Amino acid sequence: MRVGLRLFASYADALGTRSLDVTLADGATVRDALAYVRALPGADGLPPAPLVAVNAEYAPLDRTLTAGDEVALIPPVAGG
Amino acid sequence: MRVGLRLFASYADALGTRSLDVTLADGATVRDALAYVRALPGADGLPPAPLVAVNAEYAPLDRTLTAGDEVALIPPVAGG
Amino acid sequence: MSHVALVTEPIDVAALLARVSSPTVGAVASFLGTVRNVNDNRAVTGIEYSAYEEMAEREMHAIVAEAAGKFDSVAPTIAIEHRLGELSLGDVSVAIAVSHPRRAPALDACRYVIEELKKRVPIWKREHYADGTRAWVDNRNTVAVQEVTR
Amino acid sequence: MSHVALVTEPIDVAALLARVSSPTVGAVASFLGTVRNVNDNRAVTGIEYSAYEEMAEREMHAIVAEAAGKFDSVAPTIAIEHRLGELSLGDVSVAIAVSHPRRAPALDACRYVIEELKKRVPIWKREHYADGTRAWVDNRNTVAVQEVTR
């Protein structure tokens, strides 16, 4: 299945991209999406356990993904 | 000695005046000034222990007054 | 520079915020008291504020001085204006603006100023009601009601 | 009606305060975050804010909903605007305005909103320094420093 990945701020800088469409196995979880990102060039700039949002909501590592989901890696926030 | 008395808000309404010059014995205290006020017509509208300020600062009952002091009775405040 | 004033014209809140703002601060906390259309279940049409002016200004300056060292080693910048005279519904009766390099001292000092002001600054109000009556109202009852409903 | 927005133009603070003001409220608490000329001992010349916009708006709405029942049986009215893009020294980056019939819930809710916003709303900033360098900065270090200096 295809899901969209989004990267922001320092993570987008590290990986050199802000969004990519990727193919994951059916039944893949947030953990699997993170493993995919970790294999990309530049991913050594990410922390060990980045926060993730699915469809604009914070999600745990074991959250199962659905085709078309938007998976975002959320760097430490700095609003205010 | 002469001191000035000032009344405000509900206390001024009760006593029908906002300021008066009074003569007190030398060495009089805030307590003596209050006793003077209590003898005035309308003073039954005052609470048993009104707050008092001398020269624009809160003062205790045993504060000794000096000629020319401004003694103010301070109703419960309502700022804000 | 901190600022304290009793005013009879409408309070210019934007100007008060500007007074405490600068590139050296990161946070501006503010509090406005406004005239509410109901108090203690009575329909209010306006409020008349008066003060022992010299003492009110002195007490507000004392509160500013107390707040200076209370929440951080760096003093907040504080501006306070309280309006006197006849106010209409929705009018701002008091405006407090506090700035600091960091937000916690700004928020703490802003709250300290309004709480102390309500306890001890000699300002009084007479509410005007829809039925044509008026009454002196003070902050003791309001405080009691707040504590019960918390 | 509560209000949440991400904006690229300067925030109109007076308009935000007006949004939450009405004759039914007695208190308006507000908080402004502003761009400071120094952070962590480095001279700052500006800040660039960006966001995961859909999620930031959703989280701000969630914070407003949480604050609704947290401090009083009557919900506060809350307006939040966060600016994105390039900001200069002294610019307002975030403005929060909260009104309530009584002051304690207004002050409590205002503080809740800024604390939660700083923890979880996906907004990022890159500081620009006087020496020409830039760095991504987040709220974790700031929080740590604040706790040490309290």
Q: What is the pLDDT of residues C58-102, one digit of tens each?
A: 999 999 999 999 999 999 999 999 999 999 999 999 999 999 999
Per-residue pLDDT 10s for chain C (150 aa) are 899 999 999 999 999 999 999 999 999 999 999 999 999 899 999 999 999 999 999 999 999 999 999 999 999 999 999 999 999 999 999 999 999 999 999 999 999 999 999 999 999 999 999 999 999 999 986 433 333 333
Contacts of D140 in chain A (CB under 8 A): 76
Chain A contact probe: residue of D7, D55, D92 with most A CBs at under 10 A:
D55
pTM, full prediction: 0.94
Maximal C-alpha separation, chain A: 39
Binary contact (C55, B57; C-beta < 8 A): yes
Residue C1: the pLDDT is 80
Which residue has tokens 């003898």? B39
B18-61 pLDDT tens trace: 999 999 999 999 999 999 999 999 999 899 899 999 999 999 99
Predicted local distance difference test score (pLDDT) of residue C141: 63
Give buried/exposed letters for B14-31 (b at 16+ CB in 10 A, else e): bbeeeeeeeebeeebbbe
Region label for A9, one of left (φ > 0), alpha (ψ between -120 and 50) or beta (otherwise): left
Nearest to D30 by CA among C115, B80, C13: C13
Locate all alpha helices (DSSP H) within chain C, ordered by sequence: 13-20, 53-68, 103-120, 139-149
Percent of chain C exceeding pLDDT 70 equals 93
The residues on D that touch A, with CB distances below 8 Å, are 33, 49-52, 54-56, 58, 82, 93-94, 114, 117-126, 136-140
Q: What is the ipTM of this complex?
A: 0.93
